[in-house]
Structure 1
């Protein structure tokens, strides 16, 4: 794996965790059990985009003195098969655009473009570990991915754990989402979704 700058790793973390953040739209805790049992139509496209503000915090890793993190705006459109994710600075300047289709995955930045074999390969290089990208698109619909076991959080908490992530949905009515990686880099994500008109 090529050595990447700390800033590039932060950008990668923010880009991929932004996708997770969009899972804030979805069923309430009372409907979560039914959503876990229902298999969604895999051919149904995601017809709307998700956007908002996000912040990411990654605790210091061995040999690091300070935590990594950042904040900005994101916009996500598509599904697991084809889509686009943009990350911008708080002032609106585009930091990066990730595009994927059945035949390609690319990361575009103002002065660089890179191609990858898969979204998993992109996440492995940027974060040092694979992120369950296939699951993110069911998470976008506010339910666990049907391809892996999941567990509801104990009442009165709202949300679920799946594939090493604890997704908390108790503040969705306010447009807020928190997600915590269990183990690994132990990343924490906080998102405020843009209100729909």
Structure 2
């Protein structure tokens, strides 16, 4: 067996390293869908938030939700995308007056009730309609929920659900 010349070996190693780096980067690619304001209508496109959300439910059988999020639209028609720390889509929830659709990986669920799919997605009911108001700094009464809007100017929101049990705490930190 004859040894490879040093330059040939170096080129092969560099080529293998470059291929490995490209493969690794492709695996981390951001697979979020582009914003589609036209798909939801011009009126809906005027409201969009992104950041991190944490939902802690006081029930051992409900796992906490910690995810990046993108919320677009309005209470009547919109989209909520949950993202992992790398920015990849974990789930997408879309709703309109005709119903709601939850997409998690290859699994797709449809329901006439947004609340049903929100509960399925997060493990707890969340007042999605109120989120749009709260994120704008507007108080909106929701039975069982108390919201702290004092941090909205700094991109922070905290809401606590006292009833129905189990209690829950929602924290949102907006991107700046």
Listed one character per residue, the Cα deviations across residues 102-127 of structure 1 (whole Å, up to 9, x for unaligned) are 22310001120000012133245556
Contact 1:56 1:187 in 2 (8 A): yes
Contact 2:161 2:168 in 1 (8 A): yes
TM-score, structure 2 as length reference: 0.64
Residue 193 in 1 paired to residue 174 in 2?
yes
Alignment of 1:1-197 (within 5 A): 45=44, 47-61=46-60, 64=61, 68-123=63-118, 125=120, 130-145=125-140, 150=141, 162-183=142-163, 184-195=165-176
Which secondary structure does the structure 1 equivalent of 2:97 belong to?
A: coil
TM-score, structure 1 as length reference: 0.58
Specify whether residues 175 and 139 from structure 1 end up closer, same or farther in structure 2 by C-alpha distance, changes over 3 A only: closer
Structure 2 gaps, min length 5 = 1-42
1:185 Cα deviation after fit: 2.0
Give the Cα–Cα distance (whole angstroms) in 2 for the partners of residues 57 and 86 of structure 1: 18
Give the Cα–Cα distance (whole angstroms) in 1 for the partners of residues 79 and 69 of structure 2: 11
1:171 Cα deviation after fit: 2.3
Taking CA–CA contacts closer than 8 Å with sequence separation of 6 or more, which of the two structures ends up with the larger relative contact order? Answer: 1
Contact 1:132 1:163 in 2 (8 A): no
Across the two proteins, how many residue pairs are aligned to each other? 133
